[in-house]
Amino acid sequence: MGPEKQSDTKKASGAGCLFIFAVPFAIGGVVMLVLTGREIASVNPDWDAAFVWGGCGLVFSLIGCGLIWAFRRVSAIEREARERRECHPDSPWNWREDWADGVLRCETTRSRRGAWVLAVFWNLVSLPLCFALPGELEKGNWLILLGLIFPLVGVGLLARAVLLTLRLRRFGVSRFQMGVVPAPIGGRLGGVIEVSAKLQPEDGFRLRLTCLRKYRRGTGDDRRTVEKVLWQDEQTMSHDLLDRDPLRTAIPVSFRIPEDVAPSDDTDPDDKTIWSLRATASVPGLDYCAVFEVPVFQVDDSAVIAASDVDPAEKYRLQEPAHCPGRSKIRVEPQPDGATEVIFPAARNRGAALGLTLFVAMFAGATWLQAHLGAPMIFPVVFGGFTALLVVCAVELWLGVTRVRLEPDRVLVTTRTLGLGRTRELAADQIREVITRIGMTSGRTVWYDIEILPHAGRRLCAGRHLRDKREAEWLAEEYRTMLGVVSMAEAEAETEKVGG
């Protein structure tokens, strides 16, 4: 069975699950409404029971009808996609209508609908807990407090749905008009983001292109979805294409796509590769944000790839130095003996450190509450072990310091946290390459590490948690220059030149 057939089977199974879940909700809602009618029509109706049965019946009926509508909608979409795949078996970018047309709608609309459905469903399910909470506390059942996580999550989901709705009402539905469909690997993703409102951010438009692998891991109750960033690039546009238009904004987009990345692939719903374009801007009131899923594929048209060598958005791009000493917290200090020392100070990523600290506090509180309320020992032990691991990571973010000393014939990397650490040394003639790679991630936000690869042995990490990719690449180039290391790309280019 080919990947397309497997995809059709899994999608059909997903649509069937919607229908299977819809039937009991719909039947249960009808039964509850019938019981409500019988109670009301009785000689001495119990209005409290009628209220309960009627409310539950209405909720179940609405959920059942919503699932049936979703089943019909998903079935129609999958049928249309199947017809497109049959018509264009060798061009997967034509399997989606928006990709084929080259006009991509912002995912905010779809996300808003899903956010409202999830928020309403979650809060309806959590509502009985709120009514049962006072009575259980009077009985001395303090374990019921652990259930407060569900209504708190419901409040967060509701806030997210409201935020997406307000953003959509203010900025409308943004569209990304692609220059070339699909964006070729080894070429350039170009086009214009059209916004039905005038945006004039002081610090420009921030664009981020991400290649993301989204897959499912585990089985049964342990099954979960994992997102892994494979590649990412960012840039800032100083202004838009329609400076004098008071009602519209056109944001230029131009990203160079390397040759060694994975193409878009959604043939397997359990293991997909997604290319996502995100545009943000800080404006008064509610900030602008738009996300597009873009088609990136390997194509055989060498003319398209060659034409993409020209960057049409160069004059709109905000030109910033790769390493700005006044803005960067990383210090590059020349030494009197001719060496260069690069210092990565503590607490340079305060946002990430603070977020992780709050996460640690939440887990520590849950661990204490479980132990205090006499929960089975396995739960506080597992939570406590995970909390200890998070504490180590948080301490390293707040207090970890790295010093990299670059000399013509060697490199020394010293790491210290709370005065504890070590120094590693590597001779320059033992170094094969200096690279940057994605290290720590938080959702789709990534930080970069600089690694020194020896000809033999373990790699040496010479700088961690750099938020700016251009700064990480600049530092890696500085390392190569100081140590006399030729990059792999330069070595390959020199080999081709000699061979030619």
Residue 54 or 98, more confident: 98
For the residues 242-261, what does the mean pLDDT come to? 90
Look at strands 188-195 and 103-105 and give their pairing: unpaired
Report residue 137's pLDDT band, with 50, 70 and 90 as the boundaries: low
Mean pLDDT of the chain: 83
pLDDT at residue 11 greater than cutoff 50? no
403-425 pLDDT per residue, tens: 999 998 999 999 999 888 899 99
pLDDT at residue 248 greater than cutoff 80? yes
> What DSSP line would sit under 464-493, residue for residue?
--BS-HHHHHHHHHHHHHHHTPPPHHHHHH
**Could you tell me the CA-to-CA distances from 293 to 191, 228, 262, 352 in Å, in that order?**
14, 16, 15, 26
For the residues 386-410, what does the mean pLDDT come to? 91
Look at strands 183-184 and 296-297 and give their pairing: parallel
What separation, in Å, do the N-terminal and C-terminal C-alpha atoms of the chain show? 45
* Whether the Cβ atoms of residue 296 and residue 258 lie closer than 8 Å to each other: no
Nearest-CA neighbor of 466 among 308, 373, 386, 352?
Answer: 352
Report residue 56's pLDDT band, with 50, 70 and 90 as the boundaries: confident
* Whether the Cβ atoms of residue 193 and residue 290 lie closer than 8 Å to each other: yes
For the residues 343-352, what does the mean pLDDT come to? 91
**Could you tell me the CA-to-CA distances from 87 to 94, 102, 300, 419 in Å, in that order?**
9, 18, 20, 65
DSSP code of residue 119:
H
H/E segment holding residue 406: strand 401-407
Residue 410 or 59, more confident: 410
Task: Please report the pLDDT score of residue 450 as a whole number.
Answer: 95
Report residue 81's pLDDT band, with 50, 70 and 90 as the boundaries: confident
Task: Please report the pLDDT score of residue 5 as a whole number.
Answer: 46
Structure tokens at 439: 């290290």
Query: What's the pTM value of the predicted model, to 2 decimals?
Result: 0.78
For the residues 378-397, what does the mean pLDDT come to? 88
Task: Name the least confident of 60-69, 262-271, 454-463.
Answer: 60-69
pLDDT at residue 125 greater than cutoff 70? yes
Structure tokens at 277: 């374009």
Task: Name the least confident of 42-51, 270-279, 385-394, 463-472.
Answer: 42-51
For the residues 332-352, what does the mean pLDDT come to? 91
Task: Please report the pLDDT score of residue 303 as a whole number.
Answer: 60
Task: Name the least confident of 28-32, 174-178, 281-285.
Answer: 28-32
255-283 pLDDT per residue, tens: 999 988 999 998 888 889 999 999 999 99
Report residue 221's pLDDT band, with 50, 70 and 90 as the boundaries: low
Rg (CA), the chain: 28
For the residues 142-166, what does the mean pLDDT come to? 81
277-305 pLDDT per residue, tens: 999 999 998 999 999 999 999 988 766 66
Give me the phi and psi of 183, to 5 degrees please: -70, 125
For the residues 439-458, what does the mean pLDDT come to? 90
Structure tokens at 109: 């609309």
* Whether the Cβ atoms of residue 12 and residue 72 lie closer than 8 Å to each other: no
CA–centroid distance for 309 within its chain:
29
For the residues 429-438, what does the mean pLDDT come to? 93
What percent of the chain lies above the pLDDT cut of 90?
A: 35
- Count CB-CB contacts under 10 A for residue 325: 10
